[in-house]
Structure 1
């Protein structure tokens, strides 16, 4: 019986990975299986299982394992031997994945939402304060982002903490001069309206509903030696993100700012060590690529030379076969080069492509609804009573 249930979990995860529209899993009541099959050696799988557990409202599993992930995946452990050996292999092969700031913040957000769903209000507030710390802490992977600031502001309002909500809205309305934080003017204007509303005090709090919709796109990259903003990598999403949408009742904000953190991973101003390692890895990749190319040339030339020296009626066939084999080896060279110099693009995959914050009880009636499948319903009930001045 357990085998069949586990096969159901694997099948559902396969569906999630292959079909963009079908974000929501098709199985129910599998929280026990999710909790008993966590492979901590595969950090990406653990993160995706947490996302899946939250979508299934397995709040006990989310609360238990998120705390372990926060402590275990947060800090970078430097090893001189690993860092040196890593330049001779693909980026990230010898190093454990370390959470980006947006991933640490979103983990805190999921945990806060799980506490909220289970009635642990004070614990939810603690996690939101941790979220704030994760965005601004000067760690290995650092930097705030507008998506988590919006989510934090809304959840503070749901928790009837207008002062904390105002702080996050104000950060969006008056963003700091950081190359990692870009707040579109339309979002700044929306946030400014929320600041004014909170300052007035007497107006009722909106009945916010918050959704994570769609699926975070795949990360593609191309090699570009000159003119690339991040070393020699050009990184782009597939498919592209949707545009920002602002309505009278809410907004749709893509998680493109999260994607930007992946794209900036090898920027010299962000991670000098990764940038230097990538440039060292470039000539190593050229040398590795020359090996199959040289072997291919040797097979083609040597085979034809040997066939000619032996003579005979079959020498032409031997030469043709040598050329074919040599050509196949030479064609491997670009693949070897790319696999050597490819950047570390690991990331939490099962994340929404956008968030929708709305006052509408029915998402379909929100003008900014993108009609994508729902991954996470972050606020699932009416907020606290209106606060008063």
Structure 2
């Protein structure tokens, strides 16, 4: 809706979604039953912290596009609060920090400076982001004048996700969640920066860490015996179906019946693996139509911008997120 220019609809619907998917409401029955079922089948989705903050930013930009600056600044501050809120899904994100730094630089450098400073000292971001942010801090401290405002573009869409289990070591939770393709590499010039949203996938993996969501972690570990039990039942059913079919076929002197029974048994056993994977899979629900990277610039977009034109062609769709 934002890309289509439906700014009032973004404000109305976005505010509703943020209000009703912000907090976790526990239902004992659903939580207990879900131990034997895939995660998320019976429980409502709770927005990730970066999703809440990004939604607030979109609402703020919608207000800006409707020439309602005061309301927009209120929403930007709401996004800042969402970043630091100690609720179910919580945690700061460097991509959101970069968006705040760029947007606030267009309105209030005193507010923008702490965001640039935070990025310049963040050991979890690349050296490119740290250096770029440090330059912005030096500009602000030196009262340097520069032309143009920061413009923000979303690049492509996030890749699909896959996962694998790690129930033995469990150093960072029982699941490792990974993208099916690589994110663009971080790149910067004097007036541009391209930053991937790979930290958002890392945040999804953090859902299952014991010290982050103890209940989710416990449910995923307890669910393992159920998964193996379903697997054993599936294999047993397949073997029983094949043996029974062949026994009846021998009694009826029908070789085709035995062959068909063995084929059916093989199919059941084969699909048992899919059922085990389905039951033991992590909850991968997230907003899929999110940018795979953000391109932020206060210069012109042309062939001289290596950060942008070194990106794979299938990711080259730019979505304007700011005027």
Q: TM-score range by the shorter chain?
A: over 0.9
1:146 offset after TM fit, Å?
A: 0.9
2:51 alignment partner in structure 1: 103
Work out whether residues 174 and 217 of structure 2, in 8 Å CA contact, stay in contact via their aligned partners in 1.
Answer: no
Larger mean Cα displacement after TM superposition, 243-252 or 225-234: 225-234
Deviations 1:297-334 (A, max 9, x none): 001122223333x263x2x3322222111111111110
2:245 alignment partner in structure 1: 303
Q: Secondary structure at the match of 2:41?
A: coil
1:360/1:104 CA distance change after superposition, 3 Å: same
1:92 offset after TM fit, Å?
A: 0.3
Q: 1:199 aligns with which of 141, 147, 150?
A: 141
Q: 2:77 aligns with which of 110, 116, 129?
A: 129
Q: In the aligned structure 1, how far is the partner of 2:18 from the partner of 2:304?
A: 36
After TM superposition, the structure 1 = structure 2 runs for residues 1-389 of structure 1, keeping only pairs within 5 Å, are 53-159=1-107, 161-175=108-122, 182-204=124-146, 206-227=148-169, 229-308=171-250, 310=251, 312=253, 314=254, 316-362=255-301, 364-369=303-308, 370=311, 372-380=315-323
Q: In the aligned structure 2, how far is the partner of 1:205 from the partner of 1:167?
A: 21
Structure 2 gap ranges (5+): none
Q: Secondary structure at the match of 2:154?
A: strand
1:74 offset after TM fit, Å?
A: 0.5
1:363/1:285 CA distance change after superposition, 3 Å: farther
1:174 offset after TM fit, Å?
A: 2.1
Work out whether residues 249 and 366 of structure 1, in 8 Å CA contact, stay in contact via their aligned partners in 2.
Answer: no
Q: In the aligned structure 1, how far is the partner of 2:53 from the partner of 2:274?
A: 36
Work out whether residues 112 and 125 of structure 1, in 8 Å CA contact, stay in contact via their aligned partners in 2.
Answer: yes
1:192 offset after TM fit, Å?
A: 1.1
Q: In the aligned structure 2, how far is the partner of 1:156 from the partner of 1:205?
A: 15
Work out whether residues 215 and 375 of structure 1, in 8 Å CA contact, stay in contact via their aligned partners in 2.
Answer: no
Q: In the aligned structure 2, how far is the partner of 1:102 from the partner of 1:244?
A: 19
Q: In the aligned structure 1, how far is the partner of 2:114 from the partner of 2:302?
A: 27
Q: In the aligned structure 1, how far is the partner of 2:229 from the partner of 2:262?
A: 22
Q: In the aligned structure 2, how far is the partner of 1:66 from the partner of 1:339?
A: 31
Q: In the aligned structure 2, how far is the partner of 1:70 from the partner of 1:375?
A: 25
Figure out how many residues of one structure are paired with residues of the other and give that number: 319
1:227 offset after TM fit, Å?
A: 4.2
Deviations 1:16-52 (A, max 9, x none): xxxxxxxxxxxxxxxxxxxxxxxxxxxxxxxxxxxxx
Structure 1 gap ranges (5+): 1-52, 381-389
Deviations 1:96-148 (A, max 9, x none): 11000000010011111111111111111111111111111111101111111
TM-score (normalised: structure 1) = 0.78
1:311/1:118 CA distance change after superposition, 3 Å: closer
1:206 offset after TM fit, Å?
A: 4.6
Q: Secondary structure at the match of 1:276?
A: helix
Q: Secondary structure at the match of 1:368?
A: helix
Deviations 1:335-378 (A, max 9, x none): 11011011100001111100001122325542211353435312
Q: In the aligned structure 1, how far is the partner of 2:43 from the partner of 2:13?
A: 22
Larger mean Cα displacement after TM superposition, 230-239 or 371-380: 371-380
